[in-house]
Structure 1
Amino acid sequence: MKTIPLGATDISVSQLCLGSMTWGTQTSEVGGHAQIDAALDAGINFIDTAEAYPVNPMNKENAGKTEAIIGTWLAARGRRDAVVIATKCAGAGNYIRDGEAISSKTIREAVEGSLKRMQTDYIDLYQLHWPNRGSYMFRQNWTYDPSGQDKSATIAHMEDVLGALKALVAEGKIRHFGLSNESAWGTAQWLKVAERMDAPRVETMQNEYSLLCRLYDTDMAELSHNEQVTLLAFSPLAAGFLTGKYQGGAVPDASRMSINAGMGGRMSDRVLGVTQAYLDIAAKHGLHPVHMALAWCCQRPFPVSPIFGATDMEQLQIILDGKDLVLDAEIMTELDAAHRANPMPY
């Protein structure tokens, strides 16, 4: 399994990252433990989670169950040094702290909670799940309006949070800092303020990215390259669309679409047709579409670690079977041509 640097840090992680967001709802504790074991055996040492997980559904009752499953795995296996763990603090409007926005106070509370649930003394990568000021992620780009933002308030917020993160690093409770669902402007401000304060710099950005969702390809890609900010690409299989399992209107039992018909706004009148263009390229070259989609992410011209998820061991094994695939130039060119012909399907 290829490894890459985590941002500008001295941590090397497997290029593929094991996502955990279904552990505690669709995936049992036993299933979560089995996935970590299998991933490590395959050379994958990077696990992403969040205090808000699991999903399907996401609610206050379930929040924290995923981290707790990671904690019981750590307690049972005693292999803390074998894994790099990333987790996240929920932002404004969350259901964990009754909507309280991210601040130095909530950061410390959230870190202490995550440490306790995961039964560990430190978190390798601590991320903000979404910005307090709002985001254009999750299909909000279609009507995005930043005109109500207050720059001075945003900078003051960053100073407050970075002060808390600096203290938590000094205490050994977190090692590095990352963002999620952020913009190029926002990330640049975090980097600027951190440098001025000698505080933890942004090492990673966890945004949605796949063959069907390529918002990251311009300004954010440039920032990633020049500032050594690694993209942790969530939904690299487009929430399952790129597996082909929803083609023809199919809704498999226990799939995400069986729980969330709108697929978080991804279900549109174009998405299945656009998906078929990519499935056809995979079929033409004798590739599994899952392997092709993940390999494409890994070969982007900026640092990327795709976060994949599997609800069961059968799905996980399919992913592991293609973990070392490298696409040739012909296939990459065809994928770009498909994107130009079918941009922004949702």
Structure 2
Amino acid sequence: MQYRELGDLKVSEVCLGTMTYGQQNTLEEAHQQLDYAIAQGINFIDTAEMYPVPPRAETYGATETYIGKWLKKQKRDRLIIATKIAGPGRGMKWVRNGAKAIDRENLKQAVDNSLKRLQTDYIDLYQIHWPDRYVPLFGQSVYDPTQERETVAIAEQLSVFADLIQAGKIRYVGLSNETPWGVSEFSHAAKKLGLPKVASIQNAYNLLNRVFDWALAETCHYENVGLLAYSPLAFGMLSGKYLSKQPEKARITQFKGFGQRYLKTNVKEAVVAYVDIAQRYNLTPAQLAIAFVQSRWFVTSTVIGATTLEQLQENLDSLEVILSDEILVEIEAVHHRYPNPAP
């Protein structure tokens, strides 16, 4: 396991995603995964107040609670714990009575609630799960200015983070599902006003969705913001498991209407092509997909999740895979044929 810099933190090149805990995974299964992950050298664990997914009032906060029961038995200073505050506009009325704006009251309440569930005194990386302002999200790809809503100023958001850092409750600030404009504005406000610098951005990145390659890669390079790449297997699509059947316990099968961004035109055709590359080079499709994400210069850590230990083991085996120039050329050829079918 290699470790990379995120602020002054050293985080493992793979981050354990946990959004299945409390929905698809039991408490015992969650703790087995956590134990296995740290035994393999992972020190970076990512969660969110709204997890598990799909979000429901009945399971709200369960993932952090599961992690907290495990975390209290660990050496806390050896682990990097990241979580997120849910933003407005997603209709989750059970989240702090409506997942309100990213303002002082909601930030303080969300942090305190997460600290309690996680049974810890501090959060290493605290992220805004999606912007307070309107942006196209989770598969939407067209910006519509008529959808703009009242929003909390970015400088105001950062000022609250500054107070939370001063209080010792969080260490670093991160963004998620952000845009180039958003990263730039957070960075400029931090520099101008002496407020906390954004350390990371957690956005989807995989063989079916390489939108980050464009403006975000440039922005994050100049602002020194690392990518935490989530969904490297595109909701399991890139494992190839959906090509011949609909696995009963898979997320898209279990939860109808979920993961729509990965059910678009040319997704299946692209997956078939990538699976073919993997098979011809004696790799599993998952190994090819994760190794590609790991190869990108802007990735600080790849967020992987699994519903079984076997899946987690296969995902971690991908760390041993180094893609040859020949394979990368073939990947680029598929990408040009089917560019970003699931943005």
What CA distance in whole angstroms lies between the structure 2 residues aligned with 1:137 and 1:296? 24
CA contact (8 A) 2:235 2:259 kept: no
Find the counterpart in structure 2 of residue 59 from structure 1. 56
Q: Does 1:203 align with 2:199?
A: yes
> Cα RMSD between the aligned structures?
1.5
CA contact (8 A) 2:252 2:259 kept: no
Secondary structure in structure 2 of the residue aligned to 1:305: strand
Find the counterpart in structure 2 of residue 105 from structure 1. 105
What CA distance in whole angstroms lies between the structure 2 residues aligned with 1:272 and 1:59? 29
Match of 1:194 among 190, 209, 226: 190
Amino acid at match of 2:63: T
CA contact (8 A) 1:235 1:308 kept: yes
Find the counterpart in structure 2 of residue 117 from structure 1. 117
Find the counterpart in structure 2 of residue 69 from structure 1. 66
Find the counterpart in structure 2 of residue 255 from structure 1. 250
Q: Does 1:26 align with 2:21?
A: no
Instruction: Encode CA deviations 1:260-284: one digit per residue, 9 max, x unaligned.
Output: 3444212134211110110011111
Amino acid at match of 2:221: H
CA contact (8 A) 2:14 2:304 kept: yes
What CA distance in whole angstroms lies between the structure 2 residues aligned with 1:167 and 1:17? 27
Q: Does 1:220 align with 2:219?
A: no
Q: Does 1:129 align with 2:135?
A: no
Secondary structure in structure 2 of the residue aligned to 1:330: helix
Q: What does residue range 283-322 of structure 1 map to in structure 2 within 5 Å?
A: 283-322=279-318
Worse overlay, 108-117 or 222-231: 222-231
Find the counterpart in structure 2 of residue 11 from structure 1. 9
CA contact (8 A) 2:15 2:302 kept: yes
What CA distance in whole angstroms lies between the structure 2 residues aligned with 1:329 and 1:81? 39
Instruction: Encode CA deviations 1:219-259: one digit per residue, 9 max, x unaligned.
Output: 001112221111111111000000010003x1111111222
Larger % of helix: which?
Answer: 1
Instruction: Encode CA deviations 1:193-223: one digit per residue, 9 max, x unaligned.
Output: 1112211111111111100011111100111
CA contact (8 A) 2:229 2:299 kept: no
Find the counterpart in structure 2 of residue 144 from structure 1. 143
Find the counterpart in structure 2 of residue 274 from structure 1. 270
Identity %: 44
Amino acid at match of 2:332: D
Match of 1:81 among 77, 80, 85: 77
Instruction: Encode CA deviations 1:85-131: one digit per residue, 9 max, x unaligned.
Output: 11000000352021412111100000000000000000000000111
Secondary structure in structure 1 of the residue aligned to 2:238: helix
What CA distance in whole angstroms lies between the structure 1 residues aligned with 2:157 and 2:48? 18
CA contact (8 A) 2:186 2:198 kept: yes
What CA distance in whole angstroms lies between the structure 2 residues aligned with 1:240 and 1:37? 23
**Unaligned stretches of 5+ in structure 2?**
none
What CA distance in whole angstroms lies between the structure 2 residues aligned with 1:62 and 1:295? 33
What CA distance in whole angstroms lies between the structure 1 residues aligned with 2:58 and 2:190? 35
What CA distance in whole angstroms lies between the structure 2 residues aligned with 1:136 and 1:326? 34
Query: Which TM-score applies when normalising by structure 1?
Result: 0.93
Secondary structure in structure 2 of the residue aligned to 1:247: coil
What CA distance in whole angstroms lies between the structure 1 residues aligned with 2:341 and 2:257? 14
**Unaligned stretches of 5+ in structure 1?**
none
Secondary structure in structure 2 of the residue aligned to 1:323: helix
What CA distance in whole angstroms lies between the structure 1 residues aligned with 2:330 and 2:258? 27
What CA distance in whole angstroms lies between the structure 1 residues aligned with 2:185 and 2:288? 35
Q: Does 1:183 align with 2:179?
A: yes
Question: When the two structures are aligned, how many residues end up with a matched partner?
Answer: 337
Amino acid at match of 1:251: Q
What CA distance in whole angstroms lies between the structure 2 residues aligned with 1:190 and 1:212? 28
Find the counterpart in structure 2 of residue 324 from structure 1. 320
Amino acid at match of 1:106: N
What CA distance in whole angstroms lies between the structure 2 residues aligned with 1:205 and 1:136? 16
